Structure 1
Amino acid sequence: MGDVAMTVPVLRVFRETYPDVKLTVLTRKFFAPMFSGINNLHVYHADVDGRHKGVFGLRRLSNELHKSGINAVADLHNVLRSNILKTLLSLNGIKTVQIDKGRTEKKALTRSQNKIFAQLKSTHQRYADVFEALGYPIDLKTHTHPKKQSLTPNILSLTQDSTKKWLGIAPFAQYESKTYPLELMVEVIEQLDRGDRFEIFLFGGGKRETDILNNISCKYNNVTNVSGRLQFEDELKLIGNLDAMLSMDSGNAHLAAMYGVPTITLWGVTHPYAGFMPFGQPVENAILPNLVQYDQIPTSIYGNKFPAGYEKVMHSIKPETVVEAINNL
């Protein structure tokens, strides 16, 4: 989801730069609401669990796209499925350019020996490079964020027209190695709730996360669990109306940033140098663990690999540090 969210600012710039080019996004149906604010953009649903599943399904998808009149393809994913689709489309004479994920320099950044610790190109710029290779150069510095969307009755039933600052907190990530310890996050929430300055909205997904967030929210006056209570489209509208978001290095950070919401991120064994800093966010909004104590960070790009002794890197981020960053913001 985070990868898809990172395409949104890039596509906004593309649309503003080339308003007459027909633009179609191929993605899962669930992700379609992310693109709803971009004018003259068509979303084509990839049913990868149904009619477009497997090699024969991808052949069917390729034929459908060919019949739609597509002239060129920007592959912003570069995985097995998109590689197969690229080959099939190429056989029909359609030009395809794939993202260069920079695997060699990322390997140098994450290796334990002879690490090259340097800022790599952002993923957003890597997306933009694909369009340039297709003959459509864009300048991400020209990006402008959309206006805040109107709140639906379902959202208003949660927000209750609160006049406090609206703070989103997304405490989960795909891997535990880049998830802030729950007991420390509860301390953060407790301190923020005690100050009575914020209306706090908790974001997550799935039954386990929903149950955890319900158990947390019921203990505090200013905390509401959003998980499981809104459709994804409404959840995005609420995120776009937040005053700030606190997130891990995960999808919710990118969802907030694509709306221009100030976003504070907490990092574990990953690092912003890999190119996954949320769009338009200053480096000061990234809170890192103790890099002197854990000098092999980043140990991986996605947080799925780390050496022994790095299980608790995020314990070196104190709750007071997080609260101070939010209050300062």
Structure 2
Amino acid sequence: MSLTQFSEPASRPLAEQHVLVIRLSAMGDVAIMAPVLNALLKQHPQLSVTLLTLAKWAPIFAAIPRLKTVPVETKGIHKGIIGLWRLSQSLKKEGFIAIADLHGVLRSRLLCFFLSLSGHKSARIDKGRAEKKALTRLENKIFKPLKHSSIRYGEVFAKLGFPITLDPSTVLSKPPKKPETTGADQSNFTTIGVAPFAAHKGKQYPLDLMIQALEIFSRLAGKDQKEIRFVFFGGGPVETPKIKALCKQFPHSSHGLSLSFEQELQVIAHLDFMVAMDSGNAHLAAMYAVPTLTLWGNTHPYAGFAPVFQTEKNHLLSDRITYPGLPTSVFGKEVPKGYEKVMESIAPAAVAEKMSALLREASAD
């Protein structure tokens, strides 16, 4: 991602510089936001942020100074209109005078409305819905790169009078290694994260092809001076037995099934590189500047959700010559007839070759 300046000015910065930021989900979108908030607070040292998000995402932001997370319980006390009203009243004590709505959904809009009754200024993300619809429709498609989500986030802060510059220096600092989490001594290994699953079928590379790719890569990497160690990420009743089987198949491998989210972040931050779908784990790795290879099916980086600061060479795309309607979806939910197997157009050998290139780069550092 090139250096980007957000400079849409407000009349002047707010007098009391404390902002409420709203972004509840999903994990990938929250992870993309992290370097943006890091840049915001580094470049505006007079500013503090209260972040309203799900409690489980709080570890992502633990090391960012002057940022406080406030958990929202969308299925509990903050559910429905009454719950959001209750939340708005409790938030007032935080002392902010402006709101950055980075979610732009009905829930966040209603919350902003309740807070506006007390005079709070707000700015809302422009999600570019019409552009994304034009990018993903099968007929009269407009195939061009759209704004990255991090840019859209930055524009919200510019509207409030806090322009920011995003570049690779704004990634998060890596948490310290802890032997009980990352292993006592991994100096003799090249550690590669593999997140072989995705939330939607339109983003899922067939597992048998991923296994083939890892086998080919392991053979290609056999001459390297360090042994390869895969760490597999995923969870849930469907993915868990598959991850355990992968660990048995590949020597020295491990998984994150028994780790807390905080511990998982520690492992991800210290990977040599990550291989993932268009999924949350890719964004978690990228926010720590971990080289990240992503495989794309019915979605596409042009929609603005590529991992931050990753070069285009780290994107492996399904074949648009065979499947000219790609992308068919922003999030991978929509899979038109005839597009169920688009990811099979990515050859395992191509995945292995890209992994080998990342390995050479990791070995050179």
What residue is the counterpart of 1:47 in the other structure? 73
| Secondary structure in 1 matching 2:170 | coil
The AA in structure 2 aligned to 1:318 is A
In structure 2, stretches of 5+ residues that fail to align are: 1-26, 359-365
What residue is the counterpart of 2:157 in the other structure? 131
Match of 1:12 among 38, 53, 56: 38
The AA in structure 2 aligned to 1:45 is P
What residue is the counterpart of 2:63 in the other structure? 37
Name the CA distance, whole Å, in 2 between partners of 1:3 and 1:139: 19
What residue is the counterpart of 2:282 in the other structure? 253
Note the C-alpha offset of 1:205. Answer: 1.9
Match of 2:217 among 192, 217, 220: 192
Note the C-alpha offset of 1:314. Answer: 0.3
Q: How does 1:171-210 map to 2 (within 5 A)?
A: 171-194=196-219, 195-196=221-222, 197-210=227-240
Match of 2:349 among 296, 303, 320: 320
Comparing 162-171 with 70-79, greater Cα deviation is found at 162-171
Comparing 2-11 with 201-210, greater Cα deviation is found at 201-210
- Alignment check: 8 A CA contact 1:193 1:223 kept: no
Structure 1 residues 157-199: Cα deviation after superposition (integer angstroms, max 9, x where no partner): 4x75352211100011111111100110111222334445421
Name the CA distance, whole Å, in 2 between partners of 1:190 and 1:328: 16
- Over the aligned positions, Cα root-mean-square deviation in angstroms equals 1.4
Evaluate the alpha carbon distance shift between residue 218 and residue 162 of structure 1 in structure 2; reply closer, same or farther with a 3 A threshold: farther
Match of 2:261 among 232, 249, 260: 232
Structure 1 residues 214-255: Cα deviation after superposition (integer angstroms, max 9, x where no partner): 0121122132122x2110001001100011000101111110
Name the CA distance, whole Å, in 2 between partners of 1:87 and 1:154: 46
Match of 1:297 among 326, 344, 351: 326
Name the CA distance, whole Å, in 2 between partners of 1:220 and 1:249: 23
Name the CA distance, whole Å, in 2 between partners of 1:127 and 1:147: 20
Name the CA distance, whole Å, in 2 between partners of 1:287 and 1:192: 15
Name the CA distance, whole Å, in 2 between partners of 1:223 and 1:191: 16
The AA in structure 2 aligned to 1:81 is R
What residue is the counterpart of 2:17 in the other structure? none
Structure 1 residues 93-152: Cα deviation after superposition (integer angstroms, max 9, x where no partner): 111111000001111111111111101010000000000011111111373334432222
Comparing 159-168 with 64-73, greater Cα deviation is found at 159-168
The AA in structure 1 aligned to 2:163 is P
The AA in structure 1 aligned to 2:175 is Q
The AA in structure 2 aligned to 1:314 is M
The AA in structure 1 aligned to 2:206 is P
Name the CA distance, whole Å, in 2 between partners of 1:10 and 1:78: 17
- Alignment check: 8 A CA contact 1:193 1:221 kept: no
| Secondary structure in 2 matching 1:143 | helix
| Secondary structure in 2 matching 1:44 | strand
What residue is the counterpart of 1:99 in the other structure? 125
Identity of aligned residues (%): 46
- TM-score scaled by length of structure 2: 0.87
Name the CA distance, whole Å, in 1 between partners of 2:189 and 2:270: 12
The AA in structure 1 aligned to 2:272 is D
- Alignment check: 8 A CA contact 1:177 1:303 kept: yes
Evaluate the alpha carbon distance shift between residue 16 and residue 287 of structure 1 in structure 2; reply closer, same or farther with a 3 A threshold: same
In structure 1, stretches of 5+ residues that fail to align are: none
